[in-house]
Amino acid sequence: MTETSATELNVLFEDDYLLAIDKPSGLLVHPSPIERRAENAVALLREQRNFKAYTIHRLDRPTSGVLLFAKDPVTARAMSEQFAARETEKTYLCVCRGYTDAEGVIDYPLKEELDKAADKFANPDQPAKDAVSIYRTLGHAELDVPSGNFATSRYSLVEVRPKTGRKHQIRRHMKHIFHPIIGDTKHGDGHHNRIFRDKFDLQRLLLLATRLEFTHPHTGDRICITAEPGEWERSLFAELGWADVALMAGS
């Protein structure tokens, strides 16, 4: 099943200052100079909610899940400072190649990945910056599909909590520990991507932003916003024996 950008956004949270959506895989966060005609969340919010959305953080285009916007520049600045100070808690769910350990900490600095168009004036020789991700394994699955010298193919359902916010951090960190995320065409494993494409008609990156927790900049309340896996993901998880365990992410 192919997941496409939705024209009607699913709003997860809204008040006078903030709005969070469940971003579909494939939807850009904001306009792109490379793909000017592609749909983006900022433009859709302007059309559907009739207000200017201020970006606070970002999700990669192929990543789905909780995406938060501010409704005014003061709130945007306060929330951006909270993200920069690492006072938010982010939780992701992903499907990886191989059997991951029960839990672990990936402490591996990352050099900034520069975009040829957007970052053409940036210094390509900047040193690597600290990057830390904490993960735990929620489930394992084995498919009766040959892989290399093995008669079967093994996969893991993993919850990841990044403690820093480097570009493509989770994707690069999972590759670093030799468990690349399924559906990742840049940092993943083409052979296993094909297995999921042929067997499950996978057309997306299996990385979902399932939970975001932060302190409301105006009320001081601790806010927790969650996004459950979509119908297609739930169907996939059921086939892999993860129907119930997938809902543990972020708990």
2 within some domain: no
| 116-150 confidence digits (pLDDT tens) | 555 555 566 778 999 999 999 999 999 999 998 89
1 falls in which pLDDT band (50, 70, 90)? very low
Per-residue pLDDT, averaged over 13-24, amounts to: 97
Q: pLDDT at position 113, please?
A: 80
For the chain, what is the largest distance between any 2 Cα atoms, rounded to a whole number of angstroms? 57
* 6 lies in some domain: no
- pLDDT score of 36: 65
Q: What is the domain-level CATH number for residue 175?
A: 3.30.2350.10
Q: Report how many domains make up the chain.
A: 1
Phi/psi at 131 (nearest 5 deg)?
Answer: -150, 125
* DSSP, residue by residue, the chain: ------SS--EEEE-SSEEEEEEPTT-BSS--SS-TTS-BHHHHHHHHH-SPPEE-S---TT-EEEEEEESSHHHHHHHHHHHHTT-SEEEEEEEEES---SEEEEE--BPPPPPTTTTTTS-TTPPPB--EEEEEEEEEEEESS-BTTBSSEEEEEEEEEESS--TTHHHHHHHHTT-PBTT-TTTS-HHHHHHHHHHH---S--EEEEEEEEE-TTT--EEEEE----HHHHHHHHHTT-TTGGGGTT-
Q: Which of 29-43, 47-61, 153-167 has the lowest average pLDDT?
A: 29-43
| Domain assignment of residue 164, yes or no | yes
Q: What is the pLDDT of residues 78-125, one digit of tens each?
A: 999 999 999 999 999 999 999 999 999 999 999 988 565 555 555 667
Within a domain: residue 137?
yes
CA-based Rg of the chain, rounded to a whole angstrom? 18
**pLDDT-derived band of residue 198, with 50, 70 and 90 as boundaries?**
very high
Q: Residue 3's pLDDT band (boundaries 50, 70, 90)? A: very low
pLDDT band, very low/low/confident/very high, at 31 (cuts 50, 70, 90): confident
122 in any annotated domain: no
Output the six-digit token pair for 120: 């053409």
What is the average per-residue pLDDT within 235-240?
95
User: What's the pLDDT band for 174 if we cut at 50, 70, 90?
Assistant: very high
Q: Which domain, by its residues, includes 183?
A: 11-117+127-248
Q: How far is the C-alpha of 170 from the C-alpha of 180, rounded, in Å?
A: 9
The verdict on residue 19 lying in a domain is: yes
- pLDDT at position 30: 87
Strands 222-226 and 11-14: unpaired
Q: What's the confidence (pLDDT) of residue 126? A: 79
The residue among 95, 83, 92, 68 whose CA lies nearest residue 209 is 92
Average pLDDT, the chain: 90
Whether residue 1 is contained in a domain is answered as: no
Q: What mean pLDDT comes out for the span 212-232?
A: 96
| pTM value > 0.75 | yes
4 inside domain: no
Query: How sure is the predictor about 38, in pLDDT bands with cuts at 50, 70 and 90?
Result: confident
- Active-site residues, by number, are 60
DSSP state letter for 150: B
Mean pLDDT, residues 57-81: 97
